[in-house]
Amino acid sequence: MNQDPCVLLVSQRSPNKVVRFRLFTPVFIQAFTTLLLVVAMSGCGGHAASITLNPMGPIHVDKQISAGQAVQFSNLTQGDVTICLGDNGRCIANAQGPSELQPPGLKISQGQSQDITFANSGRYEIVSLNNANVHVYIDVR
């Protein structure tokens, strides 16, 4: 019996007749890789935008999305970050927008991400309470 792990032996009705089928041919590998890529990317369509908060200096982001779409905020800084609807580094009480971004703000732990859905059209300014150089504007159509 063949011990090659790349060959699949399929027995037919007659025990003396064995069909050899090469499982890991270049065509199979290409097809399998394409399938994996399609499956991996199928989860990528849920976010209209992603915003990464990182320690590399000022952040100015201006994104446009459609009403009902989510924005993913990722924290790559060395500590927790709190973001909210605001102006000049401060949260604005009773600001129109997602409830998660209302005061006291949304805390995103180091290395974590958070999806925020913007249900209504408008322009939203999002600030970081940890970094005055973060200026994020979300235009929702």
The tens digit of pLDDT for each residue in 86-127 reads 998 899 999 999 999 999 999 999 999 999 999 999 999 999
Q: What is the rounded distance in angstroms from the CA atom of residue 21 to the CA atom of residue 30?
A: 17
Q: What is the rounded distance in angstroms from the CA atom of residue 61 to the CA atom of residue 78?
A: 20
> Looking at 1-5, 23-27, 51-55, 117-121, which range is the least confident one?
1-5
Residue type for position 116: I
Q: What is the rounded distance in angstroms from the CA atom of residue 68 to the CA atom of residue 78?
A: 31
CA nearest neighbour of 117 among 84, 70, 74: 70
> How much is the pTM?
0.65
- What confidence score (pLDDT) does residue 29 get? 43
